Amino acid sequence: MEKYCLGIDIGGTSVKFGLFDMDGALLEKWSIPTNIEQNGIHILPDIAASVNSKLKNRKITPEQVSGAGVGVPGQVAEDGTILFAENLGWVHVPLTRELSRMTGLSVQAENDANLAALGEIWQGSAENCHSMIFVTLGTGIGCGIVMKDKILSGANGAAGEIGHMHIEDNMTEQCNCGKYGCLEQLASATGLRRLGKMELEASEEPSLLRRSEVSAKTIFEAVKKKDALAIRVAEKFGEYLGKALANCTCVLNPEIVVIGGGVSKAGVVVLEYIQKYYRQYAYPPCVDTEFRLAALGSDAGIYGGAKLVIEEN
Amino acid sequence: MEKYCLGIDIGGTSVKFGLFDMDGALLEKWSIPTNIEQNGIHILPDIAASVNSKLKNRKITPEQVSGAGVGVPGQVAEDGTILFAENLGWVHVPLTRELSRMTGLSVQAENDANLAALGEIWQGSAENCHSMIFVTLGTGIGCGIVMKDKILSGANGAAGEIGHMHIEDNMTEQCNCGKYGCLEQLASATGLRRLGKMELEASEEPSLLRRSEVSAKTIFEAVKKKDALAIRVAEKFGEYLGKALANCTCVLNPEIVVIGGGVSKAGVVVLEYIQKYYRQYAYPPCVDTEFRLAALGSDAGIYGGAKLVIEEN
């Protein structure tokens, strides 16, 4: 009877949808813009309308849909209430209850990074693994942890916030979280740009980075062309992230670390700089933990949403 | 029929035993010396002999015993083989198989720090909690993690090794693990002694610590008497451990952190120095994570062993 499930990934600019069969095959994906006006009160009705019309067009009844797994960029309580999602303007939004009422579907909610991790371990780069740390290097640093095939969400949904691990004592700029010296300030896309600018300002040394906008992309392009200044930036980035991940693996001892997000698009060179320092700082029994690049890109969240439904059935 | 279970905690100097009923009441505890001669080949036969004679004296048949949960100071594989237990001289010891053969009991094995954590969350200081980080500050630093009532052991039993988190870049002495600047080198009982001696050598400043042996005990006694030099040592200890635990809680987000081991016998003053720095470095949603002193002392392991059996039944 139940033949389908939905994975839904709510982002600050768009909401992605995936319709899956219960064997985990992606049948169709689509997206709608995220309307964050008025503290995001339109987001859930927009999602419900899109789901309802898609199902109607495909002549699928709600009874044929096993459920929807929804990823949210924020802190999710066990009862499916979103405690806080800054980019959506949400505070205490009873997502699962509301979306279930509007669609007639069973709905589960999870932090978006956790859901992406679940997607990657299910059908992505960590397929056949049972434990992983998944790190997304974008504007900020997201992280989802899977142990024994289950998301590790913590006592109040704040597990995996390695972007706010303290990593630099000499940081005078404040992080969004209110602290100083968080990993996210130094090893996200934003952090790479900051490190690049600091290095450029510290000397008059010629560099390819003086001719273009400084970004994660241009930094790693310059690294590939053996630009000495860009290489120093990549070394610093690698040391911050390698050290932080060594701190994580001695706590969690996962099978694999997967790196995704915009910065990872530069390719294996990113892993090389991270692993160089990771191996220096890692607890010896964890030194050989495997590192891979993410495989599902921005679809990881919808895969994770579907998996959340399928593993309950 | 099955009325009893056993918790067994193998240490480098003694093996502790607890006989429990299936409601978790400790009926009797006893211990025997650990014979580590000849790479510890006598340990399992000694344990079996002690168990068998105790059961015989109490007229308990093996059929009345639901099982034994055994804690080992080392790395435990999923099949119950001890991969490595340095203090016992063990390499690849098939503990569960051997002990089961010698006693006729069902046997499970677990790392000793993990088992102590399970004991504390079951009947100790973290009773009624579902997730915790348990840290023992002794000769080294042990750590057991419980998430959603289950031990987090990692892909190959190396989870919770926070004693080997890199915490000090300027460390020239090597840790037992081969690295430099591990938490254990600076915030265990051994680490406190090292910090105390460094502080004493750095100046001629009078201190109560010049009149006695420098140990965790004398350092915190001097702190309570407002000895300025001892207070500086406690501040450094607190900063190392507070920072490391902030790194842990942003990854795990547990309900509670419990501090045990010899150093914790100095009392709440230990927590005060840890929490002062913990709060400075913690990710804001985790700042209010509760800290408590361990309650079961050296019995935590036998409680954890019993719990391991009871939760399987």
Nearest residue, CB atoms, A253 vs list B159, B165, B250: B159
Q: Do A94 and A177 sit in the same domain of this protein?
A: no
Q: Does A30 touch chain B (CB under 8 A)?
A: no
Are B50 and B70 in contact by the 8 Å Cβ rule? The answer is no
Chain A CB contacts of B158 below 8 Å: 250, 253, 283, 285-286
What local confidence, expressed as pLDDT, does residue B78 receive?
A: 84
The count of structural domains within chain B is 2
| Contact in structure between B18 and B28 (CB atoms under 8 Å) | yes
Torsion of CA A205, A172, A259, A81, to 10 degrees: -150
- Predicted pLDDT at A312: 85
- A276 — contact with chain B (CB < 8 Å)? no
In this structure, the dihedral spanned by the alpha carbons of residues B119, B310, B112 and B95, taken in order and rounded to 10 degrees, is 170
For A84, nearest residue in chain B (alpha carbons): B285
Domain identity same for A23 and A87: yes
Shortest Cα distance, chain B CAs vs residue A92, angstroms: 15
Measured between beta carbons, which residues in chain B are less than 8 angstroms from residue A248? Answer: 251
Hey, is the C-beta of B281 within 8 angstroms of any chain A C-beta?
Answer: yes
CATH classification at residue B54: 3.30.420.40
Chain A contact for B245 (CB, 8 A cutoff):
no
Contact with chain B for residue A49, Cβ under 8 A: no
User: Is B252 in contact with A159 (Cβ distance < 8 A)?
Assistant: yes
- Nearest chain A Cα to B165, which residue? A247
Q: A166 at the B interface (CB within 8 A)?
A: yes
CA-to-CA dists, residue B253 to A70, A124, B130, B249, B288, angstroms: 22, 26, 11, 5, 11
Indicate if B86 and B210 belong to the same structural domain.
Answer: no
Pairing of strands A132-137, A256-260: parallel
Same-domain pairing of A169 and A208:
yes
pLDDT of amino acid B312: 85
Tokens representing residue A7 in the block = 């994975």
The reply to whether B142 and B249 lie within a common domain is yes
Interval B202-259: pLDDT, tens: 999 999 999 989 999 999 999 999 999 999 999 999 999 999 999 999 999 999 999 9
Q: CA-to-CA distance for A21 and B137, rounded, in angstroms?
A: 51
Residues A205 and A258 in one domain: yes
pLDDT in 10s for each residue of chain A, 313 residues: 679 999 999 998 999 999 999 999 999 999 999 999 999 999 999 999 999 999 999 999 999 999 999 999 988 988 899 998 888 999 999 999 999 999 999 999 999 999 999 999 999 999 999 999 999 999 899 999 999 999 999 998 889 999 999 999 999 999 988 999 999 999 999 999 999 999 999 999 999 999 989 999 999 999 999 999 999 999 999 999 999 999 999 999 999 999 999 999 999 999 999 999 999 999 999 999 999 999 999 999 999 999 999 998 8
Partner-chain contact A283 B161, CB within 8 Å: yes
pLDDT for the residue numbered B1: 61
- Say yes or no: A262 and A169 in one domain: yes
- Do A78 and A155 have their domain in common? no
> In terms of domains, do B111 and B141 share one?
no
**Helix (H/G/I), strand (E/B), else coil: A70:** strand
Smallest Cα distance from A180 to chain B, Å: 9
Give B63 to chain A, closest Cα distance, Å: 32
Name every chain A residue with its beta carbon within 8 A of the beta carbon of B178.
284
With contact defined as beta carbons under 8 Å apart, do B7 and B304 qualify? yes
Q: Do A158 and B255 touch (CB under 8 A)?
A: no
CA nearest B69: which of B258, B312, B295, B294? Answer: B312
B158 touches chain A (CB under 8 A): yes
Q: Cβ–Cβ of B155/A255 closer than 8 Å?
A: yes
- Check whether residue B85 and residue B10 sit in a common domain: yes
How far from chain centre, in Å, is Cα A98? 25
Tell me the residue ranges of DSSP E strands in chain B.
4-10, 14-21, 26-33, 65-72, 75-76, 82-85, 90-93, 107-111, 132-137, 141-147, 150-151, 256-260, 290-293
- Nearest CB to B177 within list A154, A164, A283: A283
Cross-strand bridge partners of residue A259? A135, A293
CB-closest option in A158, A159, A251 to B159:
A251
Q: Which domain holds residue B180?
A: 127-294
Q: Tell me which chain A residue has its CA closest to the CA of residue B243.
A: A166
Residues A283 and A153 in one domain: yes
- Say if A141 is an interface residue toward chain B (CB within 8 Å): no
- Among B131, B152, B247, the residue with its CB nearest the CB of A247 is B247
Task: Provide the shortest C-alpha distance from residue A117 to chain B (in Å).
Answer: 14
- Give ∠ CA B265-B305-B183 in degrees, rounded to 5: 45
- Cβ distance A133 to A183 under 8 Å? no
Please tell me the predicted confidence (pLDDT) of residue A1. 61
Question: Whole-prediction pTM value?
Answer: 0.92
Chain B residue with the nearest C-alpha to that of A132: B155
- Are the beta carbons of A284 and B131 separated by less than 8 Å? no
Least CB-CB distance to B251: which of A157, A248, A284? A248
Give Cα separations from B149 to A63, A288, B76, B87, B284 (angstroms). Answer: 35, 29, 19, 29, 24
Task: Give, for all 313 residues of chain B, the pLDDT tens digit.
Answer: 679 999 999 998 999 999 999 999 999 999 999 999 999 999 999 999 999 999 999 999 999 999 999 999 988 988 899 998 888 999 999 999 999 999 999 999 999 999 999 999 999 999 999 999 999 999 899 999 999 999 999 998 889 999 999 999 999 999 988 999 999 999 999 999 999 999 999 999 999 999 989 999 999 999 999 999 999 999 999 999 999 999 999 999 999 999 999 999 999 999 999 999 999 999 999 999 999 999 999 999 999 999 999 998 8
Looking at the structure, tell me whether residues A47 and A94 fall in a common domain.
Answer: yes
Residues of chain B neighbouring A153 (CB-CB closer than 8 A): 253
Instruction: Copy the structure tokens of residue A151.
Output: 């998301």
CB spacing of B248 vs A246 below 8 angstroms: no
- ipTM of this predicted complex? 0.91
